[in-house]
Amino acid sequence: MIVLFFAASFLVADAFTAAHALTATRALEVVQLSLNAIHGRVFFSQFTLDTPDSWLATIESIVGIVIDGIFVAMLIQRFFDR
């Protein structure tokens, strides 16, 4: 759900900046970008620092780190049976 939310956010940001036309190819690109960004593996060389896309990718990376941390904490608790 979070990946789709951020993918939609990338599309909305594109609509406001008119950077790309809304096509099926662009929709797949933003889903791919969102999947990469949630794990913090987005390449910021494709963005400049003042674009909404770079800020959305940064926020999504932080959300992904928090989700990963919660998952690891839950896994450790289950592993040690606490």
Q: Are 38 and 2 in contact, with CB atoms under 8 Å apart?
A: yes
Would you give per-residue pLDDT tens digits along the chain (82 residues)? 888 898 888 888 887 776 667 778 878 888 888 888 887 776 666 666 777 877 888 888 889 889 999 999 999 998 888 6
pTM over 0.85: no
| Domain spans of the chain, in order of start | 2-79
| DSSP conformation letters of 35-50 | HHHTTT---GGGS-TT
